[in-house]
C-alpha cells in the first residue's frame, strides 16, 4: 500500500506511526502539516498574516510534489491548519485513495467538523466527541521504547510527571500534588516544560514559577525517570475526555496512574489497583494507600494500546469500542 501522511510532527509520535506502516511493508511519504522550526515560530510572532500565507504555500508545495503519484491511503493527523479548498485539492489529486483523519485533540481545542464530509474515516482519541458525532474511537498509543519488559514490582514507590505546560491550571495542580507528596515523604519527580510567554502569564497571575524546564526532556532521561518510580501523575492541559499520551504509555509500561480523568473507570483496562481517580479539591485523598496497593496483574502489558496495533487500526479502518456508547 502507498500511503501519503500529512501530519503534525509532535515529538517522536508521528514518525513512530510512519515507521510502523513501513514495518508492515507499506511505502510512506510523510509531510509536516505545520512546521514549527524557530524560523516559523518567529514569523508567527512577527506577523500572523504572513505566517498564514507561508503555511498555505507550504501546503500547496506538498500537493505539487505528490499530485502525479498514486496513493491508496491519504492520512491526515490534524487538518484544521488547511483551508477546505486545499483539502479539496488533495481529494481531486488522489481520487482513488481512502482519506482518513486522526485527531489527538478534542473538538473543543481544534474544531475539525467543517472538514468531516471530505474524509472516508474519521478517528478521534476523544470518546465524547466520537460518541456525539459518530466518529471512530481510537485512543493514543504506547511507543515501543515504553513497552518495558522489566517487572513493575521492582520499581520503588514514587510518582513522576513529564509534560508541557500550556494552561495555568495544570501548573497549579502539579504544585498542589507536589506539596501533598512533600508532606508525606513521597518522591515526586517532574519535568514540566514551558515557554517564556507561559512563565510571564504565571507571574502576571501572581505565581512564582517553580520547577519549570525550558525544553523537552531527553528520551533517555524520560525512560530512566519512568523506570525509577512506580506511578505517574496525569492532569491534562486542555478540556477533553480523551486520555493523554501519559495515561496510555504508563498503562503499557505497567505503572500505576493517578489521574483526573474519570473516564478510565468505564474502560476494560480499569482496575482500582492500577488507577486512582482524583477530583479537584479532594486533597488527593487515598493516593498514599493506592501507591501501597500491589498490582493484581503485573504481567499484563496491554498490547491493544501499542503503537503497532494503533497503526494497524488506521490501515484496516478499525477502531476500539467506545465505552460511552
Q: Are residues 228 and 119 part of one domain? A: no
| Residue 180 neighbours by CB distance under 10 Å | 18
Residue 82 in domain: yes
Q: Give me the CATH number covering residue 96.
A: 3.40.50.2000
d(CA 286, CA 184): 12
Q: Are residues 137 and 21 part of one domain? A: yes
Q: Are 120 and 102 in contact (CB under 8 A)?
A: no
Q: Which residues of 195-221 are buried (b: 16+ CB within 10 A; e: fewer)?
A: eeebbebbeeeeeebeebeeeebeeee
- Name the helix (H) or strand (E) containing 225: helix 219-227
pTM for the model: 0.91
pLDDT value of position 242: 86
| 74-88, 127-141, 161-175, 294-308: least confident range | 161-175
Mean pLDDT of the residues in the chain = 94
pLDDT value of position 304: 97
Q: What is the pLDDT of residues 103-142, one digit of tens each?
A: 999 999 999 999 999 999 999 999 999 999 999 999 999 9
Residue 65 in domain: yes
Residue 260 in domain: yes
Q: Are residues 134 and 156 part of one domain? A: no
Residue in the block written with cell 508532606: 183
Q: Are residues 175 and 153 part of one domain? A: yes
Q: Are residues 155 and 77 part of one domain? A: no
Q: What is the pLDDT of residues 16-60, one digit of tens each?
A: 999 999 999 999 999 999 998 889 988 988 999 999 999 999 999
Residue 78 in domain: yes
Check whether 237 has a pLDDT greater than 90: no
Q: What is the pLDDT of residues 128-185, one digit of tens each?
A: 999 999 999 999 999 999 999 899 999 999 999 999 898 898 999 999 999 999 999 9
Amino acid at each position: 500500500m502507498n500511503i501519503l501522511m500529512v501530519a503534525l510532527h509532535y515529538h517522536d509520535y508521528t514518525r513512530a506511526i510512519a515507521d510502523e506502516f513501513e514495518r508492515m511493508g507499506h511505502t510512506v511519504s510523510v509531510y509536516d502539516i505545520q512546521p514549527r522550526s524557530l524560523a516559523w515560530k518567529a514569523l508567527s510572532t512577527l506577523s500572523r498574516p504572513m505566517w498564514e500565507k507561508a503555511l498555505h504555500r507550504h501546503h500547496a508545495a506538498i500537493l505539487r510534489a505528490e499530485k502525479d503519484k498514486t496513493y491508496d491511503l491519504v492520512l491526515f493527523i490534524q487538518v484544521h491548519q488547511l483551508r477546505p479548498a486545499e483539502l479539496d485539492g488533495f481529494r481531486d489529486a488522489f481520487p482513488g485513495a481512502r482519506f482518513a483523519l486522526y485527531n489527538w485533540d478534542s473538538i473543543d481545542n481544534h474544531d475539525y467538523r467543517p472538514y468531516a464530509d471530505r474524509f472516508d474515516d474519521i478517528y478521534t482519541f476523544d470518546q465524547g466527541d466520537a460518541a456525539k458525532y459518530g466518529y471512530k474511537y481510537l485512543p493514543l498509543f504506547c511507543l515501543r521504547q515504553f513497552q518495558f519488559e522489566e517487572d513493575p514490582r521492582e520499581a520503588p514507590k514514587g510518582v513522576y510527571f513529564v509534560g508541557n505546560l500550556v494552561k495555568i491550571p495544570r501548573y497549579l495542580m502539579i504544585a498542589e500534588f507536589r506539596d501533598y507528596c512533600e508532606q508525606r515523604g513521597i518522591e515526586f519527580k517532574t519535568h514540566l516544560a514551558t515557554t517564556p510567554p507561559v512563565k510571564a502569564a504565571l507571574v502576571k497571575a501572581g505565581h512564582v514559577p517553580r520547577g519549570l524546564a525550558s525544553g523537552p526532556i531527553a528520551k533517555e532521561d524520560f525512560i530512566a525517570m519512568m523506570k525509577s518510580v512506580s506511578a505517574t501523575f496525569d492532569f491534562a492541559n486542555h478540556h477533553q475526555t480523551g486520555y493523554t499520551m501519559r495515561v496510555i504509555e504508563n498503562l503499557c509500561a505497567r505503572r500505576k496512574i493517578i489521574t483526573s480523568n474519570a473516564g478510565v473507570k468505564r474502560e476494560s483496562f480499569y482496575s482500582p489497583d492500577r488507577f486512582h481517580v482524583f477530583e479537584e479539591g479532594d486533597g488527593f485523598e487515598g493516593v498514599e494507600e493506592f501507591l501501597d496497593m500491589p498490582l493484581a496483574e503485573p504481567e499484563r502489558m496491554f498490547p491493544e494500546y501499542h503503537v503497532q496495533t494503533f497503526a494497524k487500526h488506521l490501515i484496516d479502518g478499525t477502531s476500539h469500542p467506545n465505552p460511552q456508547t
